[in-house]
Amino acid sequence: MRRASALKAYKYRIYPTNAQVLFFAKTFGCCRFVWNKMLNEKVQAYAKKERISGVTPAKYKDEFPFRKEVDSLALGNVKLQLEKAFKNHFRNRKQFKLPKFKKKRDKQSYTTNSVRDSIRVDFEKNLLYLPKLREGVKIELHRIFDGKIKSVTVSRTNDGKYYASILVETENRRNKVVEPKSKACGVDLGLEHFATVTNDFGSYKVEHPKYLRRGEERLKRLQKSFSKKQKGSKNSEKARLRLARQHAYISNARNDFLHKLSKAIIDENQVVVVEDINVKGLLKTRLAKSVTDSGWSKFLTYLKYKAEWYGRTFIQVDRFFPSSKLCHRCGHKNGDLALHVRTWCCPACGETHDRDVNASINLYFVGLGRPEVKPVEQALVDDRSPHGLPKKPSCDEAGSLTVEC
């Protein structure tokens, strides 16, 4: 059996003492200082079309604030991060913009490496030991890991919470695998409901969690209140903090929802089929806000890697596959089905369809690899003779009315 090792990151909340907060602040500040200095030098060379030479933090050594107190590995990592940002930019300018200067207001972080066990976790005392810190930082170890620590990234969110993301080298053991109950499942993502799922046992809809809806309403209110406050005033700072806290709450709550749902789907089914929703194309349209809020692309990423972890098959169908427009019963393609139409009646066989359920059934069929369903070709045949099959009388000609048939 192959026993490759894998890197896994575990993120924990940490509770530094006042002295540790001060140490973190100094390290963040120093990293930010070095980042901005190096970036400035690179940007200027870039503007003059000069070759960008290897800039190192050592160059600014004398200018460092608190240079003796700060972890030098953290500064080395700043250099690596900056180089990577530039490399990405030159490889793909559209996706990766030029790196930006860092501000004190942004999220703060630094990364340090473990050299000869300089980073340790005491699982009994709930303490994290970091280079340059004599005393351990209180850490909430909500889960245990096992393996060699490679590095730690300490971060402070802009609502004032501290986290440590620990990168661990572990043996690449498969996670505990549950036997799937269903052979396949089709997942249709929507705006009205988060998802509609069909598997061997039938179809069900997954609502957008209520706490997220409520949270977003509160977010809107806080945003409004923040924008009304006088800039730089004490009340404005308070409002900013409340807003940041709410942002963090929503993002955590959404991630939690997406993780749990994707895990449940992966546990239950052997093959998972989703649409390629062309997130980037949709983001440019008016749907943008709801799409980003509903976290579709994150959800697909989670499904994909969880499928890999648990030995399931993840299929993303071509975005031109007309999953909502095909009648799952007879394969007729309803060419002009508008986006707002939630229920439609198949003009060929008379079946009434809930738009999302029908789409998820079609995706489920793809997962089963049912040979008799070759949706696209079959649709073409039906397009040519749409009147060959009996119709239900209450259907209108286009078959796209939102009335019960």
Does 330 participate in binding Zn ion (rule CB under 5 A)?
Answer: yes
Active-site residue, from 71, 188, 268, 382? 188
> Would you call 276 a catalytic residue per the annotation?
no
- What is the per-residue burial (b if ≥16 Cβ within 10 Å, else e) of 336-359? ebeeebebbbbbbbbbbbebbbbb
Q: How far apart are CA 356 and CA 343, in angstroms?
A: 9
Does 329 participate in binding Zn ion (rule CB under 5 A)?
Answer: yes
Active-site residue, from 71, 268, 356, 382? 356
Contact map string, positions 338 to 377, toward Zn ion, x by CB under 5 A: --------x-xx-x--------------------------
Nearer to Zn ion, 232 or 388 (CB): 388
| Residue 162, SS3 per DSSP | strand
Does 32 participate in binding Zn ion (rule CB under 5 A)?
Answer: no
> Would you call 336 a catalytic residue per the annotation?
no
Site for Zn ion in 34-93 (CB under 5 A): none
- Considering all CA atoms of the chain, what is the largest pairwise distance in Å, rounded to the nearest integer? 86
Instruction: State the number of CA atoms in the 13 A half-sphere of 289 facing the CB.
Output: 3
Q: Least distance to Zn ion from the beta carbon of 327, Å?
A: 3
Q: How far apart are CA 154 and CA 110, in angstroms?
A: 6
DSSP state of 116: S
Q: How far apart are CA 360 and CA 322, in angstroms?
A: 11
Does 326 participate in binding Zn ion (rule CB under 5 A)?
Answer: no
Nearer to Zn ion, 287 or 389 (CB): 389
> Would you call 275 a catalytic residue per the annotation?
yes
Nearer to Zn ion, 77 or 324 (CB): 324
Nearer to Zn ion, 83 or 351 (CB): 351
Q: By the 8 A CB rule, do 143 and 10 touch? A: yes
Query: Judged by CB under 5 A, which of 139, 250, 327, 366 binds Zn ion?
Result: 327
Q: By the 8 A CB rule, do 52 and 82 touch? A: no
Active-site residue set: 188, 275, 356
Q: Where does this chain bind Zn ion (CB under 5 A)? A: 327, 329-330, 332, 346, 348-349, 351
